[in-house]
Structure 1
């Protein structure tokens, strides 16, 4: 009897030997949808086998979490110890870290949790090693550090990206601009604001048929691919997570080799052993997390710049700010006085729906 992994390999082989053209578009669309469903089945098996596993789940602290992913012995544990002061077993042999080791770093006044995860191996998404549990933890992080050895960064980068993508993690991407809404009846209604150069009508029909979708409104607002369409349908199983490539062990290469590493997008060359370039890594972490520091200013007093209220949502409002302090503030809220980049006038009176920017200063005026 064929296993799920066997079925996946059979479909991948069939897709590889099928030339794409209008005559085969329906068949390829059907295969793509079948493949996505099998991968989902593999990653969330029945019987409860897909949980975190002992030692993998940890209590979440701080305003955001950063997971360390990489092959064994690339320096994840040393990097965690350097950033947080947390001892994570490090040695010159593989699989030193066998559980999730948490630590915390305070940067720009924000407490950020760091999670050193066990090293993964190729085939993790197919259940090899402890890869499924490792990536399941990473999938719930707000940012991932992919730690790579500078002597083979591109080779390992490609493998790890494939493992994460296979687990439904979309790296440094935004969700496709497709509005998908199922209906009880009325058939399939497809609209597009621009030509679809990567997607044939037959492919769309094949995907919808495979998912047994008979009635839906689909509005394409981008030049989407078939993978984009499947990602929207499989929305609950997809996570869009920013990634930074920490290119470790630069203390062992030449200046010329270092110049080449700087050409890799979203990367920071570092040495966790020597502590080189760690400031650049933390600054990129801050930029990717897009956190907002909002300072409190009690009426008639100076702003408190020592302990900002840190907000994570991109469109965080005064209401979010109030809730972050204590939700009871909303009961007596009258208006807020804001200084900073989010207002035209300094200061400016605003309401609960006003969207705040990083380093705004806020005074809450009560009824």
Structure 2
């Protein structure tokens, strides 16, 4: 009996041999859907265990940043540079064999850093314990892909393919596709923009493979078959921001360094010498989209030393109250806010008010 990986290889081979045209679009749509369902099996933890010894770590801080990269690209050195946490460093491959956690305090926020073991090509298929490594990466708020500046584009492409194969969508947002299942009535497909990558035949083939015969499918972007499958597989997809840390810039020329700055979401650094690490941290802060809110007890000055740090999308006054203590919501009467989120300084607002970075808040109880 074929293994899941073997079945995946067979379908990929059949797809590569099938020329895309109107006559084959339905068949290719079915193959892609079957492929996605098989890959989902690889994502599902087996009964033998989850991440494996040394991979899962206790989470702390307001966000977590995972380091992904091939062996010996300088992840552990960068980890030590940022956090002071010792992760064994040597000039040979596969030095780090477990997840090494560390903490960095940046702009008042406590952020967890996870140095993951080096991955190799084929990680998504289980090579080099790669599935356990990427499984931890899936839980991170942000990923640093650490690359060697001497071959950044080649390694970047391989690592992105490994992450994509494990359901991680790099620097992407969920496709603007809405699927509403119905009991009857067949498939009703509408699109608000012209579709140049997919036709109704492929859509019907994918829906058929997922055994959905009646649904309203509303497509509001120039979607691909993969986008449609991602929506159907939403529970197994993670949309994670990624920063490319292009390490070892001390080994290249100034002219080569200028070229590296053209790579989107990339920061050239030297973890060995600490060069450009400040710029890396600034981009980290921007990607994490954290909001610092300062408390101001009534009749006292604001506490600028220990802000309440909230995640983007969870920045209302209610979230702020819960971050301090759950009972505050029950005792809440109103709040006084100073900062960029209000028109007047100060302004009285309720629990639903959305706070912005560096607002100052006083909670008034009943």
SS in 1 for 2:36: helix
1:162 is the counterpart of 2:177: no
Preserved contact between residue 69 and residue 119 of structure 1 (Cα < 8 Å): yes
SS in 2 for 1:129: helix
Partner residue in 2 for 1:7: 7
Preserved contact between residue 290 and residue 314 of structure 1 (Cα < 8 Å): no
Preserved contact between residue 295 and residue 308 of structure 2 (Cα < 8 Å): yes
Displacement after TM superposition at 1:221 (Å) = 1.4
Q: Any idea what the Cα deviations from partners look like across 1:326-354, whole Å, max 9, x if unmatched? A: 01011111111111111111111110000
Partner residue in 1 for 2:98: 99
SS in 1 for 2:180: strand
TM-score normalised per structure 2? 0.98
Inter-partner Cα distance in structure 2 for 1:53 and 1:182? 38
Q: Any idea what the Cα deviations from partners look like across 1:193-240, whole Å, max 9, x if unmatched? A: 222221100000000111111222221111111110000000000000
TM-score normalised per structure 1? 0.98
The 3 A distance-change label for structure 1 pair 50 and 120 is farther
1:40 is the counterpart of 2:40: yes
Partner residue in 2 for 1:226: 225
Partner residue in 1 for 2:213: 214
Q: CA RMSD in A?
A: 1.1
Partner residue in 1 for 2:115: 116
1:150 is the counterpart of 2:149: yes
Inter-partner Cα distance in structure 2 for 1:253 and 1:241? 30
Preserved contact between residue 50 and residue 133 of structure 1 (Cα < 8 Å): no
SS in 1 for 2:71: coil
Preserved contact between residue 104 and residue 112 of structure 1 (Cα < 8 Å): yes
SS in 2 for 1:130: helix
Q: Any idea what the Cα deviations from partners look like across 1:119-167, whole Å, max 9, x if unmatched? A: 0000000111110000000000000000001011111100000000000
Q: Any idea what the Cα deviations from partners look like across 1:217-269, whole Å, max 9, x if unmatched? A: 22111111111000000000000000000000011111011101111000000
Unaligned runs of 5+ in 2: none
Aligned pair count reads 366
Inter-partner Cα distance in structure 2 for 1:209 and 1:179? 17
Q: Any idea what the Cα deviations from partners look like across 1:27-62, whole Å, max 9, x if unmatched? A: 1101110111111112326x4246100110000000
Inter-partner Cα distance in structure 1 for 2:184 and 2:362? 51
How do residues 302-313 of structure 1 correspond to structure 2 at under 5 angstroms? Answer: 302-313=301-312
Inter-partner Cα distance in structure 1 for 2:4 and 2:75? 32
Unaligned runs of 5+ in 1: none
Inter-partner Cα distance in structure 1 for 2:288 and 2:196? 33
SS in 1 for 2:128: coil
SS in 1 for 2:307: strand
SS in 1 for 2:320: helix
Partner residue in 2 for 1:285: 284
Partner residue in 1 for 2:16: 16
Which one is further off, 125-134 or 1-10?
1-10
Inter-partner Cα distance in structure 1 for 2:96 and 2:358? 38
Which one is further off, 224-233 or 10-19?
10-19
Displacement after TM superposition at 1:315 (Å) = 4.8
Preserved contact between residue 26 and residue 202 of structure 1 (Cα < 8 Å): yes
Preserved contact between residue 142 and residue 287 of structure 2 (Cα < 8 Å): yes
Partner residue in 2 for 1:75: 74
Which one is further off, 180-189 or 48-57?
180-189
Displacement after TM superposition at 1:180 (Å) = 1.7
Displacement after TM superposition at 1:179 (Å) = 1.2
SS in 1 for 2:193: coil
